[in-house]
Structure formats: structure tokens, C-alpha cells
């Protein structure tokens, strides 16, 4: 009797990234920047590679007059997850990270957001807060595929980009001006 040497496999239809335009207006982005700038501190890097990142960050929570931000992002993430990822998500296990990348060297080198012995980050989010005419460089690059392909995303103010937390990505150096962004991770049960 011949038995197949493989399991019945399904086609992978999960996307590597998704986006939502106009999540926040220009005025809302300015309000988030105002809240974040008031709490900035140098970004910490864990591990041996202390040169991977140059930025300032602030951790923001609903109690920082940010309830409306958490609500709006939750609604958009739920829609994107249902349409593109279908992950089993539980919610935000951490605060939102407000980040300032200042020229001429603000950057975050290649990294993944999945961590060991920490929250189970399943979906990473970044929201563009700066007007793209106010800075140069600072592109978010997602490294997709086995050929080292990358995807440069538009730097449209108020845009939310979502991607699985195991995707390799980076923020290129800001060469002029300042880039502000809001980053979050959605947690859930372990992948099965």
C-alpha cells in the first residue's frame, strides 16, 4: 500500500504586511507628538549590539491622555488582522512606543520584534506621525522573501503599517529633519 510521504498542506494566503491610510489626521498626529515629546528619553538596546539604534523613545499608555489613540488603533488593527493575517490576538501587552529619529544619524538597524522570554508579540505596528516634507531618509524597510528583497513604504502622515513581528525590518538613517512614529505590538497565544 502506497502512503503519501507528506501531510495534507494548505496554501499560505497570509500577507507579509498590510496598511491603513489616514488613521490619524494631521492635528491628531501633532497631539500625539506633543504628548510623546514631553516624555522622551534615550532608547535602550538590549544585548551586545549597542550601535544598532540611535533614537529617543517614550512609553505611552491610555492614562497619558491616549485612550482615544488606543481605541482608534485597536479598531484598525482588528480590521487589518481579520482581512490579511487572521492571527489569534489577545490585545496590547505593552504600552505604545513613541519614537524620535533626529538627523543626521537617527536610525534603527535590521531587527525583528519577536522576543524570547517576554510577551508573545504577533503583530507589529508603526504609525507615521511626521509630515513627510519635514524630514529626509528614515524609510521603514521590511525585508521580505529569501532573496533579500525589501519594501520601502510610503511615508504618509497618519498611515499605519502592520506586519508579523517575526519579519526582519529597519528604519534607515534620517538625513535631514526629524521623524516621529508610534510603534505597538499586539500579543496573543503562541503560534501553532
Which whole number is the average pLDDT over 41-64? 83
Whether pLDDT at 71 is above 90 = yes
Q: What is the DSSP string of 174-185?
A: EEEEEEEEEEEE
Q: How confident is the model at residue 48 (pLDDT cuts 50, 70, 90)?
A: low
Indicate which CATH number applies to the domain containing 167. Answer: 2.60.120.620
Residue 61 counted as domain residue? yes
What is the structure's pLDDT at 162?
96
**CB-based contact 14:82 (threshold 8 Å):** no
Q: pLDDT at residue 50 above 80?
A: no
| HSE toward the beta carbon, residue 11, CA cutoff 13 A | 1
Dump pLDDT digits (tens) for 135-164.
999 999 999 877 666 666 678 999 999 999
Interstrand relation of 168-171 and 140-144 (parallel, antiparallel or unpaired): antiparallel
Cell numbers describing residue 26: 494631521
86 belongs to a structural domain: yes
Q: For residue 115, is pLDDT > 90?
A: no
Write down the pLDDT at residue 109.
94
Positive or negative, the Cα torsion across 44, 45, 51, 57? negative
Per-residue pLDDT tens for 24-36?
A: 999 999 999 999 9
Residue 145 counted as domain residue: yes
pTM over 0.85, yes/no:
yes
Predicted local confidence at residue 11, as pLDDT: 79
In-domain check, residue 13: no
Is 135 part of a structural domain of the chain? Answer: yes
Q: How many domains are there within the chain?
A: 1
Q: Is residue 59 part of a domain?
A: yes
Percent of the chain with pLDDT over 90: 74
Give 123-188 as a DSSP string: EEEEEE-S-GGGEEE--EEEEETTTTEEEEPP--TT-EEEEETTSEEEEPPEEEEEEEEEEEEEEE
Handedness of CA 80, 85, 89, 92 (dihedral sign): negative
Q: Which residue has the cell 533579500?
A: 148
Range of the domain at 146: 18-42+52-188
Asked if residue 11 belongs to a domain, the reply is: no
Residue 177 resides in a domain: yes
Cell of 133: 516634507
Amino acid at each position: 500500500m502506497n502512503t503519501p510521504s507528506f501531510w495534507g498542506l494548505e496554501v499560505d494566503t497570509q500577507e507579509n504586511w498590510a496598511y491603513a491610510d489616514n488613521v490619524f489626521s494631521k492635528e491628531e498626529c501633532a497631539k500625539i507628538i506633543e504628548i510623546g515629546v514631553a516624555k522622551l528619553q534615550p532608547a535602550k538596546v538590549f544585548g551586545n549590539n549597542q550601535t544598532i539604534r540611535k533614537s529617543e523613545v517614550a512609553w505611552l499608555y491610555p492614562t497619558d491622555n491616549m485612550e482615544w489613540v488606543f481605541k482608534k488603533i485597536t479598531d484598525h488593527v482588528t480590521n487589518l488582522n481579520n482581512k490579511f493575517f487572521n492571527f489569534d490576538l489577545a490585545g496590547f501587552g505593552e504600552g505604545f512606543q513613541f519614537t524620535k529619529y533626529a538627523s543626521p544619524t537617527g536610525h534603527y538597524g535590521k531587527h525583528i520584534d519577536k522576543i524570547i522570554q517576554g510577551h508573545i508579540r504577533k503583530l507589529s505596528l508603526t504609525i507615521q506621525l511626521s509630515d513627510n516634507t519635514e524630514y529626509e531618509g528614515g524609510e521603514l524597510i521590511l525585508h521580505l522573501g529569501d532573496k533579500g528583497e525589501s519594501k520601502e513604504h510610503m511615508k504618509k502622515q497618519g498611515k499605519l503599517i502592520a506586519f508579523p513581528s517575526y519579519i526582519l525590518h529597519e528604519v534607515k538613517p534620517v538625513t535631514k529633519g526629524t521623524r516621529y512614529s508610534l510603534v505597538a505590538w499586539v500579543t496573543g497565544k503562541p503560534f501553532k
